[in-house]
Amino acid sequence: MILHIDMDAFYASVEEREKPELKGRPLIVGGRPEGRGVVAAANYAAREFGIRSAMPSARAVRLCPDLIILSPRGELYSRFSRQIREIFRRYTPLIEPLSLDEAFLDVSGSEKLYGATELIGRRIKEEIKSELGLIASVGVAPNKFLAKLASDHEKPDGFTVIHKDQVHAFLDPLPVGRLWGVGQSAERRLLHMGITTVKDMRKKSSDFLEQEFGGIGNRLWQLSHGIDDRPVVTDSEAKSISHETTFVADITNLETIESVALALTEGVCFRLRDAGLLAKTVNLKIRYHDFSTVNRSKTLEKYTNGTLEIWNTLRQLISDLLANRSFSVRLVGAGVSNFGENKCLETDSTGQVDLFTNFVEKNISGQDEQKQDQLDRLSDEIRRKYGKNSIRRGKSF
């Protein structure tokens, strides 16, 4: 069985925890409406007004004039993300993060020690709540595809188990749009054929689906039967790490795209450092309103895990692609690949080699986990001491 753990309204919940006086009031974390910002996260009070993440902040304010808008604090969320991951690590090293607030866990190796996957899921949910004051929704299922659907099933504060003999009953009523790989155009075609639920799709043969949908046809058949053989892949085994955002409304200005891409980059770089990796290639993905997608990459001369260097590279890719022209963008993705292991401590964990190398080297050598941890705290200290501006990127959302 696989666990999928997904924090509820993560950024917004962290802010509510830090500022209890705001708890229960509609709030978003995101860009200013007058600066053409977008919503990065909305708490549940804000969602009652129809506000969703990736929506323009200006629209969110129209929906709820009393909305509280907070600027994102990437470092704060990364810190909580690290603490959440430390709770996961009590039970397994097999963690596949999908973002700062979401991960698959394979705990099958720990079942002898801690009990069935379901029990471990309950413990993790409880420990996140009691130690960090945050709520996670948990899905427990035979594979990744089902576990992700399960964690979403009773969100927020959900805990859903899908046992092997319940798979069809769980999947059958779901609309086909919930299956991975079914985008808007595939969904329209399926609906047109009278295939509206997973049950309708399950009745079709694999041949039929392949004929109609080509390469993804077989996968659709498998998913509709609840089959998904993909293993849990940790960041250190992965070939790339990337985050992406699909906008609620198409974005036509560079500033918004840059600010969202920067936030994505910070998350990606956190995961890179957390996995003890360095990367050489920076990847940009842009999808336009007509669903055409372009990928652009740049390979650096040296390996790095520094947010600033990776961001500068990505920003150049964005500007080469989009500056001085008109565009309408639906999705932006930031990623890194071409990994090398972070064997020597040339960099502190924030990747700010130039400024802090000496300081860090003097204080720390070796790289067991405890030291790495110490190093992280140290770099946070440095950051506080020497000011955020030395590290903060020019734009915050």
How far apart are CB 77 and Mg ion at their closest, in Å? 11
Q: What are phi and psi of 260, to 5 degrees?
A: -70, -40
How far apart are CB 137 and Mg ion at their closest, in Å? 8
CB-based burial label for 291 (10 Å; 0-12, 13-18, 19+): exposed
Among 1, 6, 190, 224, binds Mg ion (CB under 5 A): 6
Print the binding letters for residues 60-99 with Mg ion: x by CB under 5 A, - otherwise.
----------------------------------------
101/106 with CB nearer Mg ion: 101
The pair of structure tokens assigned to 282 is 């920076």
Strand pairing category for 277-288 and 293-304: antiparallel
Q: Assess whether 102 carries a catalytic annotation.
A: yes
Q: What are the C-alpha distances in Å from 250 to residues 56, 140, 152, 397?
A: 9, 35, 26, 17
Q: What is the DSSP string of 274-326?
A: HTTEEEEEEEEEEEETTS-EEEEEEEEEEEE--HHHHHHHHHHHHHHHHTTS-
**7 makes contact with Mg ion (CB under 5 A):** yes
Say which of 15, 16, 96, 102 is annotated catalytic.
102
**235 makes contact with Mg ion (CB under 5 A):** no
134/232 with CB nearer Mg ion: 134
The pair of structure tokens assigned to 119 is 């029990």
Strand pairing category for 68-70 and 27-30: parallel
How far apart are CB 99 and Mg ion at their closest, in Å? 7
137/307 with CB nearer Mg ion: 137
**Interface positions, 97-156, toward Mg ion (CB under 5 A):** 101
Residues 296, 321 contacting (CB under 8 angstroms): yes
**How many residues in the shown chain lie near Mg ion by CB under 5 A?**
3
| Cα R_g (the chain), whole angstroms | 22
101/274 with CB nearer Mg ion: 101
80/221 with CB nearer Mg ion: 80
How far apart are CB 7 and Mg ion at their closest, in Å? 5
* Residues catalogued as catalytic: 102
- Which residues make up the interface to Mg ion (CB under 5 A)? 6-7, 101
